[in-house]
A = this chain, B = another copy of it.
Amino acid sequence: MSGDAQISRLKPGRRTDIRRENERAILEAAEKVFAEAGFGGATMQLIADMAGLPKANLHYYFATKEDLYRRVVQQIFEIWLDAASSFDDAPGPVEGIGAYIDAKMDISRTHPHGSKVWASEVMHGAPVIQDYLETTLRDWTEGRIAVIQRWIDDGKMAPINPRHLLYLLWATTQHYADFGHQIQTLNDGKPLSDKQWREAKASVKDMVLRGIGAI
């Protein structure tokens, strides 16, 4: 913050900025390439081209392809965890689950690549993030199940199985990112418009909140 807003695109100037900017560009390119080609199909050369750097430079910042991949997966996981705070500070399912659906649908629209990388990783048996599943994700899940169970006990929603509600929420919201291409094809080849996204969010919230007897 030295007085004037830096564009910070290229010509980074300071040393630290060089590192930050290059890592950012690499991670952004990697996210896209890993999402579109999978880990096995992605090549360092393609990521390098997309980031506008020579391939050897990638290995200066990220030792191996796996290191780079791991960082990309961690990134989307953290974004999802942040969004999950919607759950906690809510008086009941209408606000809590409603906000959670909103947040996850927004992420599906703004970070479709990350969502696909995560899906791909889990589908292949989570070779690099198994520990996250067993620790952070498990803890988070148990916590949310407890919250939902409390809502049920308080009569704020029907006695559905909280675990399967979470799976339905994850599946449905992420579907709009992971299967975005299929959805686009069924939408005459055009991406969903702002209006269609609002309609999607409203539909999902409506079905889910009805489905759990919250409205």
Whether B41 lies near A39 (C-beta < 8 A) is yes
Query: How far apart are A133's CB and chain B's nearest CB, in angstroms?
Result: 4
- A186 to B138 CA separation, bound complex (whole angstroms): 6
- Our pick among B41, B204, B210 for the contact of A41 (Cβ within 8 Å) is B41
- Could you say which of A119, A125, A167 has the most chain B C-beta atoms within 10 Å of its C-beta? A167
Chain A interfacial residues counted at CB < 8 A: 55
Q: How many copies does the complex hold?
A: 2
- Our pick among B38, B179, B186, B203 for the contact of A171 (Cβ within 8 Å) is B179
Residues of B close to A204: CB separation below 8 A: 164, 168
Residues of B close to A36: CB separation below 8 A: 124-125
Question: Of residues 106 to 131 in A, which have CB atoms within 8 Å of B's CB atoms?
Answer: 116, 119-120, 122-126, 130
Chain A 172-215 interface 0/1 with B at a Cβ cutoff of 8 Å (1 = within):
10111011011101100000000000011001101111111100
- A195 to B3 CA separation, bound complex (whole angstroms): 64
Interface secondary structure of A, over-half rule: helix
Is there a chain B Cβ closer than 8 Å to A35's Cβ?
yes
Residues of B close to A42: CB separation below 8 A: 40
Chain A 37-57 interface 0/1 with B at a Cβ cutoff of 8 Å (1 = within):
111111000000000000000
Whether B38 lies near A179 (C-beta < 8 A) is no
Given known contacts A124-B37, A124-B38, A182-B122, A207 and B168 CB-to-CB distance under 8 angstroms: yes
